[in-house]
A and B are shown apart, each in its own frame.
Chain A
């Protein structure tokens, strides 16, 4: 287990909890009691491959081998639950597991599928989980495969993976809060995948519940007749059985044929320390059994199936998996990249065309990560490696900063993704790190044929400001855009509009989803929402506004590179790429931060922000003129010598720019997320 003996920099990551729509602080507190044991669960799960903590009911402990041939395609339903954060997705999953006997009905079943500490603390799902349920309906046993999905669009990659294995979704909406930004985003993901959508209004037991209003919203926003909504209380179990009935009734079975040659889609994979890669698959055709030789279409490598089975939600080995079924497969793959998500598996003796896969996850937010102390680099590296094994959507690039030492530049799908990664690093590996302010990937369209030849492409992506090409070398710069959805009570419309305007956003549309709530769509530069947009939106709307965004491509933008100078010397690690309009305010703010965090020295220090050769902001750190003159009592120079030598040692660790000693703290203050 990892032990980086360091200060725990909770402060770096916690703010997002506040900012994250609809996560209630009280909930976090309540759950924090379970932290220690939850932590153990995770480690056991990944390091020893068994999950000793969740000792499920008799069904699970017997571990009988199911004969999966009992479930023909007609009696299979594959579905997901999608919802805005905290609308009760995981609680509903718990109830479904209980009703179908996958887990015993006890009071302690809370978010059984949310295995990570961070998931339980934040009430979100990060990593999709799968559970196969056996459900009796009209005298027949149905196999219902519930594929749990992350609730946040940062994890929409996971969502779309899950959705590809499904034919239908349960769209959960809180009966009190109504449709929120992520409800909309998730709806469209399912809608575009042409899945059957069953709207479920949850929490009807709440005092302020207003299911009728929410029905109307669903009708208006999603164009789903209100009669189709199922009103439930997952907490109390009210009408949950109806949900299962409707799953069987409304969601079509998978269109897979057991007579076809075997093909399966890998929709998730995890790494098990002892058994190697565990791939979660959905069988699109045919059957696969233990001992079969299979081939991965992506790499063309062949493997023998050592073990396969269903997830209930823990692993139950079976002999065979048949068309339409969902399960896991272990076949001696040693690295996660061998089980590429979206890859197709087929039998060696019956080669097949690859199924359409997934777009690879695209990192949209980048941040530098450095160990608090360089001596912890190795330990941190192994922590990062372990964590990325199970989250292949994080891109990792080695980086080093003159001020912060060796580290990495990590790419995340979004801000929440970044925070969750950091929190997992802290909680599961006890690591403490410095995270720099997030940046987004810009692009430049090169002007000359020579440059294009040099780079091998007309368009280059710029992650590091040091690689920002000069204006004269490019036709134009491009910045990533997102389409943001904001849902808020109409009292706040004015304020929200001016906030968005300040963020260079362009309004796309706006309409009332009910009498008081407005849904606004804005096209934002991604850069404008990655830093503190959530915070401001939340605080100006007293917490009522929700926000979500989706990728909206790139647009041309007037970008410039801004340097920061100390007495005329540029400080490489502080350079930023920024929109022309924002240069002045950002330059001034960073100069002020530098002024406050660099200690006064023997010489005056000019702190400047510069665009090219033009200085656009300046602060001055005045020289100090005198040290403290303390009396040297009775020849006691030992104390004085000690102090001076400590200062001399400290000086060694400082980054020297020109004649200025800049302590690491100053860089951290300026670079880190606020």
Chain B
């Protein structure tokens, strides 16, 4: 264990010289590699390296939901003071490491971040402001469990700096809520949404789930009808995924419960899209609907492949560690277990467990995968930011597979950019492997073409 620590700690703060040496070694490798480095990787930093959004993970929950396999802990006792200090410390360390001058949005997720004390939220925001510019109207979202306690503290969270709530109501059907193991009922949910709307009008989102055990297309539609009059300007829609190791997974596996089949869930998604659109909630991403342009700026940041810094146990980040001379974006993961994470932050100032360098190709893969989640897809301008050397048409335009997807009415590639059609959005996960292969093919052909040039010169 200590060995591993040494490695990551050492590698986290390498001297510039050391990094350059590393580069030089890479270049010695093969002629092909050096060509590629020269032509692609030596261009300037990935775009928007100067700003990032911030994700803060609060890992604790009061109760285990039957479907959730996310990184959360049911603590016996909790030291809010230590947690606050550590979140602040890690925020400061990583902000400094990234050298971003601006934080565009903050999202407190979990776990159940509404169990955190409002002062913790305030303290983290304070730290952000001290180390980077955080504009007054920057979006600051907090995930809220719609329990009476959660509702009561909403006002204090607003005072702490939160200006957007994302409320996990999941369902308005009592049976479903019980099956999901939620600690609230539909009455609590409605009251919480109402309170949140009063506090942050137009900036409240609700999470709802479909494909629940025992749910039919009809009951799902009536649930949506019940939701529409009370919800605000943003709805996130998720399908219940049975994750291995959860209680619900076991119940379905043993036949105690059954979930709707593929054709039924396809109908559910389709009808939800229709019902929400009719109510003026426009879909702007696979799972997201908004009216009055009340989109989630923080999430859009992910989908546009902007930088983000992840703070807290198990949080993920994507940014260039410019303070240590980094030139490439890194995919970073913080230590999962809160107690271990706390010790690491106390000792080293951060709990980064894993760092993976995203090369140019890797970054473009993410741009593609995330960008196609949006209705607008990937615009030519957006793609050009990340790939100035090859536009969408060059990479995907000649591919038979892509043409087939276009002919099938699932994908649209034109002067504006690349995006999924209405039908295609529902099949995104099936479209993406094809697109990733096309991207890979393009890169391979490019490398071999350059090797050719290299040999000739």
Contact = CB atoms under 8 A, between A and B. Distances in A.
A59 interface: no
B331 A627 contact: no
Nearest to A624: B262
Given A633-B70, A634-B107, A648-B436, A627 B430 contact: yes
B109 A634 contact: yes
Contacts of A601: 430
A602 B421 CA distance: 13
B308 interface: yes
Given A602-B427, A635-B55, A628 B263 contact: no
Nearest to B401: A659
Nearest to B262: A624
Contacts of B207: 631
Interface string A617-650: 0000000111111111111111011001101101
B433 A629 contact: no
A301 interface: no
A650 B62 CA distance: 41
A628 B239 CA distance: 7
A655 to B, nearest CB: 15
A629 B238 contact: yes
Nearest to A659: B404
Interface in B205-227: 207
Interface residues of B, number: 50
Contact of B269 (A629, A645, A659): A629
B432 A644 contact: yes
B152 interface: no
B426 A625 contact: yes
B302 interface: yes
B366 interface: yes
Contact of B237 (A627, A629, A640): A629
B315 interface: yes
A245 interface: no
Contact of B57 (A625, A634, A659): A634
Contacts of B236: 631
A635 B369 contact: no
A90 B412 CA distance: 74
Contact of B427 (A625, A633, A648): A625
Interface in B414-457: 423, 426-434, 436-437, 440
Contacts of A633: 70, 109
A69 to B, nearest CB: 75
Contacts of B239: 628-630
A600 B430 CA distance: 11
A636 B312 CA distance: 13
Interface residues of A, number: 29
B380 interface: no
Nearest to B440: A648
Contacts of A632: 302
A652 interface: yes
Contacts of A652: 437
A640 B303 CA distance: 13
B241 A628 contact: yes
B189 interface: no
B266 interface: yes
A603 B408 contact: yes
Given A635-B308, A644-B432, A630 B318 contact: no
A629 B369 contact: no
Contacts, number: 104
A641 B365 contact: yes
A337 interface: no
Contact of A631 (B57, B262, B287): B287
Nearest to B237: A629
Contacts of B234: none
Per DSSP, are chain A's interface residues mostly helix, strand or loop, or mixed?
loop
A638 B266 contact: no
Given A635-B317, A637-B370, A628 B436 contact: no
Nearest to B268: A626
B312 to A, nearest CB: 9
Contacts of A635: 55, 302, 308, 310, 315-318
Nearest to A627: B429
Contact of A647 (B238, B316, B366, B433): B433
Interface in B160-208: 207
Contact of B262 (A602, A626, A638): A626
B91 interface: no
A455 interface: no
Given A633-B109, A644-B369, A648-B436, A626 B269 contact: yes
B173 to A, nearest CB: 19
Nearest to A650: B433
B320 interface: no
A626 B370 CA distance: 18
Interface in A408-441: none
Contact of B266 (A603, A626, A659): A626
Contacts of B107: 634
B111 to A, nearest CB: 9
A651 interface: yes
Nearest to A656: B401
B114 interface: no
Interface string B358-383: 00000001100110000000000000
Nearest to B108: A634
A627 B315 CA distance: 26
B286 interface: yes
A633 B287 CA distance: 12
A323 B299 CA distance: 95
B333 A638 contact: yes
Nearest to B287: A629
Contacts of B57: 634
Contacts of A626: 262, 265-266, 269-270, 426-427
Given A602-B431, A627-B430, A640 B262 contact: no
B410 interface: yes
Contacts of B369: 637, 640-641, 644
Contacts of A651: 433-434, 437
Contacts of B431: 602
A389 B365 CA distance: 52
A396 B239 CA distance: 54
B31 to A, nearest CB: 26
Contacts of A629: 237-239, 269, 286-287
Contacts of A659: 404
Contacts of A624: 262, 266, 427, 430
B430 A602 contact: yes
Given A629-B269, A635-B308, A640-B369, 20 more contacts: A602-B408, A603-B408, A626-B427, A627-B426, A627-B427, A627-B429, A628-B239, A628-B429, A631-B287, A634-B55, A634-B57, A635-B315, A637-B302, A638-B333, A647-B429, A648-B432, A648-B436, A648-B440, A651-B433, A651-B437
22 contacts: A602-B430, A603-B408, A624-B430, A625-B263, A626-B270, A627-B429, A628-B239, A631-B207, A631-B238, A632-B302, A634-B109, A634-B310, A635-B308, A635-B310, A636-B316, A637-B316, A637-B318, A640-B369, A641-B369, A648-B436, A648-B437, A652-B437
Nearest first, the 4 closest Cβ-Cβ pairs linking A and B are A627-B429, A625-B266, A626-B266, A648-B433
